[in-house]
């Protein structure tokens, strides 16, 4: 019953940001991607949505979810509690990368600092999560053709943040990006299935850390 996936995608791609209920701090980048339904990625929070009326139109449904999410983001400190220097929308994008890169919330604030440090240096983020976002098949061991994929989201190819979040953002990831940890880290790698992640500012040490992940069989190395 109710609207179809195709109707939701079409509405997400073509309705005005105002009609969709997009908060003012996200309207300009959302409007810039008119025609692509992925422009509302990340604007709906990952909570239990129990009061969606399937008899409503696609626009009503998306408007209700996005406006309610904006109120939830405000409770989580967006846009008023950002200490990273990023804009509110860029904070949301970066928080989605934090959540996509590591599994342990205790590491979120350190990944947030890596993002800030790399952006400040003009260094590509080179996050596997962004390469996987637009790939047809995603894998922990990201294949070379995916790493080279020339999509706007691939931070191996393009400097800076991707144009949208790459997924729904939870409270812990957002708060970590609003208040990154202090540190000079530029690199990190998860080395085992328990989510143990090692951070360093030294590339040679980073390569040794990758070696530990390979030795553990957590990732495949050539």
pLDDT digits (tens, 9 = 90+) for 64-84: 999 999 999 999 999 999 999
Q: Show the tokens assigned to 214.
A: 């390979």
Look at 30-39, 108-117, 157-166, 211-220 and tell me which has the smallest mean pLDDT: 211-220
pLDDT tens digits, 120-164:
999 999 998 998 887 754 454 555 566 777 899 999 999 999 999
| Predicted local confidence at residue 145, as pLDDT | 63
pTM: 0.93
Residue 86 clears pLDDT 70, i.e. is over it: yes
CA distances from 159 to 25, 124, 193 (A): 22, 5, 30
Alpha carbon distance 27, 17 (integer Å)? 6
Alpha carbon distance 139, 5 (integer Å)? 25
Alpha carbon distance 81, 146 (integer Å)? 35
151 and 33 in contact (C-beta within 8 Å)?
A: no
41 and 30 in contact (C-beta within 8 Å)?
A: no
Alpha carbon distance 214, 199 (integer Å)? 16
Residue 42 clears pLDDT 80, i.e. is over it: yes
Based on its alpha-carbon atoms, the radius of gyration of the chain, rounded to whole angstroms, reads 18
Three-state secondary-structure class, residue 188: strand
For residue 187, the surrounding DSSP H or E stretch is: strand 187-190
Q: Show the tokens assigned to 136.
A: 């047809």
Alpha carbon distance 57, 54 (integer Å)? 8
pLDDT tens digits, 89-110:
999 999 999 999 999 999 999 9
Alpha carbon distance 130, 153 (integer Å)? 6
């Amino acid at each position: 019953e109710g609207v179809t996936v195709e109707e939701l995608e079409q509405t997400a791609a073509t309705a005005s940001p105002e009609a969709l209920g997009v908060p003012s701090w996200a309207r300009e980048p959302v409007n810039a991607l008119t025609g692509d339904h992925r422009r509302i990625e990340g604007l709906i929070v990952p909570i239990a949505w129990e009061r969606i009326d399937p008899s409503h139109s696609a626009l009503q449904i998306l408007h209700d979810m996005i406006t309610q999410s904006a109120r939830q983001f405000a409770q989580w400190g967006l846009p008023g509690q950002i200490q990273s220097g990023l804009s509110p929308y860029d904070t949301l994008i970066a928080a989605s990368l934090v959540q996509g890169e590591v599994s342990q919330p205790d590491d979120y604030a350190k990944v947030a600092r890596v993002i800030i440090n790399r952006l400040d240096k003009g260094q590509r983020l080179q996050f596997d999560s962004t390469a996987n976002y637009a790939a047809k098949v995603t894998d922990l061991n990201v294949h070379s053709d995916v790493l080279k994929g020339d999509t706007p989201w691939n931070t191996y190819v393009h400097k800076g943040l991707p144009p949208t979040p790459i997924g729904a953002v939870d409270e812990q990831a957002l708060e970590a990006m609003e208040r990154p940890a202090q540190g000079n880290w530029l690199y990190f790698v998860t080395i085992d299935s328990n989510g143990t992640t090692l951070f360093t500012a030294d590339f040679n040490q980073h390569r040794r850390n990758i070696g530990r992940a390979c030795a553990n069989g957590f990732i495949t190395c050539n």
